[in-house]
Chains A and B, each alone.
Chain A
């Protein structure tokens, strides 16, 4: 997939991969036989904090363009999966590959240099629960910092791109505002735009509405729905918004105790889950 995958402000889809949204839904069991290059692949990942095992032999593969949502009770390891993919944490064992390249080891099996790690990681973007905008920078400065310093775009080019994404999230009028002058929902939409200006091929969304009240969360989820619908970017989403997960996902993985206990299409998970644990989890969440 080309790195130029982009959304336009007018909502025109620019998808160099030419994969239609409906075609992106994949049958993992058959595609695995064809040995595709996965957008992201977790291989036998274990992660422990002291004696506490957060992830146990995790295997998870995401196809290019696929939207995978991780659901499950708090503390089941979902956020850790995203942090490992973004190299914000290191696994205790196992390997993680992004478009076939390990973010941990080189071909000789030695640890990657930080420069190599950064090069591969650049294909991922992440949006955090607490937005994490730089408070001393304006919205525009937040959006052009990485493109100008990492992608080496000119200031004019970066500004043009930033304005395009700000229009997409409906906040083009806030270019000169500081994060503290924005509502939580607006900050999160800016954070999404900031991730998108880096043209990621994989977007990691970590409970992006957890810090927002339900009314404001809707405007953020609408933006993500649009990205999911109109772009070819792969998504790994952690959320407790079940309706959103059902709408936006090609596949849902249910986590419990650091393991994926079940995964499948939203219809399968929400209508006819195989696992009793999935059923009880969904029951408790949906009845809440």
Chain B
């Protein structure tokens, strides 16, 4: 099979629609994952033994079950219980929840590395628990977590490919549709791969800069 530039240009508008959906899903699921992950890490830290056990169970579910299984369950099973969501909402929600579980472990690791002496300083200054968390612990947790969290954002960006399985027109979905329509596989998948690499470049730059800042 030889490369057909005309066909490549013909499918490009559809692929760019896919890029738009991919970026939206990545940003929305990142917002869910990074904020919910932080909340889970805090909840686990301040909970009672029962609360911690519940959080851990919840985290293991989302880390242990493959993302495709969760997507299918949410897309096909939830409507049977009267819960109807669009594929886009389910895709963003499931990706966000899965990566929230991973992110919470990163935040938890950062929290552990904060020297206990800083908490002593908070007590010595009579800072309330909320001020201690909001002004001292959370900023330090987030700062120390940035390099690892950026890796997960890249992971979510790549995980968007699963969403084509539930009909979301992400980049992979658009490439698949184009390929199925024409039975030409070279151009759609090659272009999709190149676009993924191009979109990854800013992440690679930000990640290397973040790592340099944190070493």
Contact = CB atoms under 8 A, between A and B. Distances in A.
Interface in A137-156: 137, 145-146, 149-150
Interface SS of B by simple majority = helix
Interface in A58-104: 86-88
Contacts of A124: 124
B118 to A, nearest CB: 6
A195 B121 CA distance: 10
Q: How large is the interface on A (under 10, 10 to 19, 20 to 34, 35 or more residues)?
A: 20 to 34
B124 A118 contact: no
A150 B123 contact: no
A120 B123 CA distance: 12
A281 interface: no
B213 to A, nearest CB: 12
Contacts of B127: 145-146, 149-150
B126 A122 contact: yes
B120 A132 contact: yes
Interface in B112-156: 115, 117-118, 120-121, 123-128, 131, 135-136, 139-140, 143
A115 to B, nearest CB: 9
B123 A86 contact: yes
A132 B128 contact: no
Interface in A182-211: 194-195, 198
B132 to A, nearest CB: 10
A244 interface: no
Interface in A202-235: none
Given A134-B136, A136-B143, A149-B131, A128 B125 contact: no
A160 B55 CA distance: 45
Interface string A107-130: 000000000001001101110101
B126 A121 contact: yes
A210 B27 CA distance: 49
Nearest to B134: A149
B133 to A, nearest CB: 12
A125 B121 CA distance: 10
A135 B125 contact: no
A133 to B, nearest CB: 8
A149 B135 contact: yes
A249 B155 CA distance: 61
A201 to B, nearest CB: 13
A149 B136 contact: no
B140 A128 contact: no
B125 A87 contact: no
A135 B140 contact: yes
Nearest to B117: A132
Nearest to B130: A149
B140 A150 contact: no
Given A88-B123, A136-B140, A145-B135, A128 B128 contact: no
A97 to B, nearest CB: 18
Contacts of B118: 132, 134
Contacts of A194: 125
Contacts of A195: 124-125
Nearest to B142: A136
Contacts of A150: 125-128, 131
B193 to A, nearest CB: 40
Nearest to A141: B135
Nearest to A86: B124
A130 B136 contact: no
B123 A128 contact: no
A198 B126 contact: yes
A136 B120 contact: no
Contact of B124 (A126, A130, A149): A126
B111 to A, nearest CB: 14
26 contacts: A86-B124, A87-B123, A88-B120, A121-B123, A122-B126, A125-B124, A128-B117, A128-B124, A130-B115, A132-B117, A132-B121, A132-B124, A133-B121, A134-B118, A134-B121, A136-B139, A136-B140, A137-B135, A145-B127, A146-B125, A149-B128, A149-B131, A150-B126, A194-B125, A195-B125, A198-B125
Given A126-B120, A128-B121, A149-B131, 14 more contacts: A86-B120, A124-B124, A130-B117, A132-B118, A132-B120, A132-B121, A132-B124, A135-B140, A136-B139, A149-B127, A149-B128, A149-B135, A150-B127, A150-B128
Interface of A: 86-88, 118, 121-122, 124-126, 128, 130, 132-137, 145-146, 149-150, 194-195, 198
Closest 5 A-B residue pairs measured CB to CB? A132-B121, A146-B125, A126-B124, A149-B131, A122-B126
